[in-house]
Amino acid sequence: MQSTSRRGKAPGAVRASILGLTRTLSIPALAVLTALLIGALIMLLSGGNPLVGYVALFEGAFGKARSLSETAVAATPYVFAGLGIALGFRGGLFNIGVEGQLFIGSICAAGVGYAVHGLPWFIHMPLALLAGCLGGAICAGIPGFLKAKTGAHEVITTIMINYMAIYFTNWLVTGPMQDPGTIVPQTRRILATAEIPAIWGAYRVHWGTVLAIAAAALVFWLLWRTVLGFEIRTVGANPDAAKYAGIHVGRNIVITMMLSGALAGAAGAVEVLGLNHYFAPSFSIGYGFDSIAVAVLGKSHPWGVVASAFLFGALNNGANLMQLRTQSPVYIISIVQALILMLVSADQIVRRLYRLKDLPKGNLATPAVATSESALGTGKEAKS
Amino acid sequence: MDMRIIIGLFALTLVKATPLTLGALSGVFCERSGVVNIGIEGMMLTSAFTGFSAAFFSGSALVGIAVALATGGLLALLHAVLCIRFELNQIISGTVINLMAVGVTGYFNRVIFSGRTVPGVETLPRVEIPLLADIPFIGPILFQHQPIVFTTIILVFLVHIVLFHTPWGLRTRAVGEHPRAADTLGIDVFKVRYINVVVGGMIAGLAGAFLTLEAVGTFEKLMSNGRGFIALAAMVFGKWSPVGAFGAALLFGFAEALGVRLQIENIGIPYQFLGMLPYLLTIIVLAGVVGRSTPPAASGQPYRKE
């Protein structure tokens, strides 16, 4: 998809690129529409009123300045986490451990945020954010290392670390890191110097949203403007070829996983530093898993991820008003998101439904996820 | 240590290993025919919910189990269609199933059960096998359980026989190792894969039924708690064989049972660390064993006729 923008200045190039863009966007747009329609059907069959529901959803997401702010707030962790998964996809890795990395990242950020004293904000806040990234990176680096060294499939190891991370943070906030002033399992409030400030008066939207978009630019730069990014993409496209080209595949896997984990950690850290100002285990609503759909819908492209993260943020935020007005549980949005993931990846279904022309096989259909992967449990890297 | 405690620990090991074994058998069925299924977790969760709901409203545990099996089979059919017909990346398809499971169970749990007191159904009755249950030590460990535990042990051997001693098993393995060759010999690759994936899904459905109808008698949010994934690790550890997977599941089940036991003993280790045991063990096992464990050659790859 990025090739369309580089086609040069030949006559008709603009038209071709517009055509290319519409073609690129038509499938995701139709997939989202279809998923919403199926969601409406489910609501209808279970006694809800989808029309009223979706109007409330839209109003809840965009109706007032406050709803816009809340949509941006909800989108922010999706941007970071989606970028993390997309980066993994580009490197041929499926990091399903984003949820756990998010937990570790946010508790690291919270720890630095409340325990480190006497720093000016322009050091303290970045330090806390960095701690979050580091926590996520280590958390993801372990499965990366295991994959590179032993071939243990990252899909299972990262999921196992998810559960361990959740237990571990749970222990921290009921033990050594619990706020002594309360019996609730949560950390102390971070210091004001560690907070990411709000952007817009009394609204909750904070500079973390801007950081998220900056992170997307950074990931774009990394992937398409640096040698490391080239290596990551080469390993993702064809690990064997990468090996023969002299790329150290094992090291590359570890680096990709750590970068992916750092983004996931940032997702959690920004939630703590910009929004909640403390860590409690209930803060994540499954961002890590939804973000898989965000990355796939965004075609694993940084700007695509930003767009789909805002869509998911809008859906999740709007769902609250929908539940309030129509009693349709917010979970309908999880169903819709799963359907989006399905329809975007199996784009043949959408093409068939809307009688679109088939593209050549494999074109734009699936993200660059682990095409070289065979079964769970072993990777080609095990032999190299 | 008191003998009763040891007996209790081993008996609990078998109980905790049951959903893991079923999940692993489900995985064996799918992967031996060449389809990776990480959606087992979601299939377990969804059928745990539908099985419970059906048992709750019909008042019959059997209806509950039947609905759980059907749910697992239907979700597996979706997985099969996505992977085989639409050649979707199989891990993405599994993720679709898992996400869908969270949404569907969360949504309908609220639609159907919200506002009422937490309902429960009676768990399946405990069965003592006559004579065998009276054998000292072994009897209470192996022969005094609820029905799905027994069914699981029988299934392990049944799946072993089907896979390695029947024409269907031979076809399945051929399709999983070398679909092109199997196709040339006149085996319908797609049919074999569809049937194996759906049967695997039904086994995952039984695991779901175990969670609600046999273990606790009620549905809790996200109650599958990663068992579907641990089951896949057991499958890998057991080298894609039913008996091996059962052995691995027993190991993970032991870790879980030990955690429960130590928590009761209250020896000062926080319960969170005990809860981590099976997950940690899974990672160690995967990292330690994988180099020596080879999956079916065509597993994970869609097949396209020429």
CB atoms within 10 A of CB A25: 14
DSSP code, position A206 = B
Among chain A residues, CA nearest to B27:
A376
* Percent of chain B surpassing pLDDT 90: 60
- The phi, psi pair for B300, rounded to 5°, reads 95, -10
Report which of A277, A270, A276, A314 is spatially closest to residue A70, judged by C-alpha positions: A314
CA of B144 vs chain A CAs: smallest distance (Å) = 31
One-letter amino acid at A26 equals S
A332-341, B2-11, B263-272, range with greatest mean pLDDT: A332-341
- Looking at residues A155-168, what average pLDDT do you find? 90
* Percent of chain A surpassing pLDDT 70: 90
Does pLDDT of A332 surpass 60? yes
CA of B274 vs chain A CAs: smallest distance (Å) = 9
Does pLDDT of A31 surpass 50? yes
Question: pLDDT, tens digit, for every residue of A58-112?
Answer: 999 999 999 999 999 999 999 999 999 999 999 999 998 999 999 999 999 999 9
Check CB contact under 8 Å for B96 and A171. no
Using an 8 Å Cβ cutoff, are A249 and A384 in contact? yes
One-letter amino acid at B149 equals V
Axis-axis angle for helices B3-32, B167-177 (nearest 10):
70
- Band the pLDDT of B114: cuts 50, 70, 90: confident
pLDDT higher for A178 or B137? Answer: A178
Using only C-alpha atoms, chain B has a radius of gyration, in whole angstroms, of: 19
Between the CA of residue B41 and those of A157, A281, B229, what are the distances in Å? 15, 22, 6
Sort out which chain B residues have CB atoms less than 8 A from A374's CB and list them.
Answer: 295, 297, 299-301
Does pLDDT of B45 surpass 60? yes
Q: Is A150 on the interface with B (CB under 8 A)?
A: yes
Say what the pLDDT of residue A374 is: 38
Question: pLDDT, tens digit, for every residue of A220-261?
Answer: 999 999 999 999 999 999 989 999 989 999 999 999 999 999
Using an 8 Å Cβ cutoff, are B18 and B213 in contact? no
Q: Is A339 on the interface with B (CB under 8 A)?
A: yes
Query: Three-state DSSP class for A347?
Result: helix
pLDDT higher for B200 or B137? Answer: B200
Report which of A74, A131, A48 is spatially closest to residue A322, judged by C-alpha positions: A48
Using an 8 Å Cβ cutoff, are A62 and A121 in contact? no
Report which of B160, B174, B138, B147 is spatially closest to residue B245, judged by C-alpha positions: B160
- Looking at residues B255-280, what average pLDDT do you find? 86
Say what the pLDDT of residue A2 is: 43
User: Domain ranges in chain A?
Assistant: 79-302
Check CB contact under 8 Å for B99 and A42. no
Say what the pLDDT of residue B66 is: 97
CB-neighbour burial class of residue B221 (10 A; exposed 0-12, middle 13-18, buried 19+)? exposed
Check CB contact under 8 Å for A377 and B283. no
Say what the pLDDT of residue A220 is: 97
The ipTM value here is 0.91
Question: pLDDT, tens digit, for every residue of A341-366?
Answer: 999 988 888 888 888 776 554 433 34
Does pLDDT of A22 surpass 60? yes
Does pLDDT of A5 surpass 90? no
Question: What's chain A's average pLDDT?
Answer: 87
* Percent of chain B surpassing pLDDT 70: 97
Say what the pLDDT of residue A366 is: 41
Check CB contact under 8 Å for A376 and B38. yes
Between the CA of residue A197 and those of A200, A210, A212, B235, what are the distances in Å? 9, 11, 14, 49
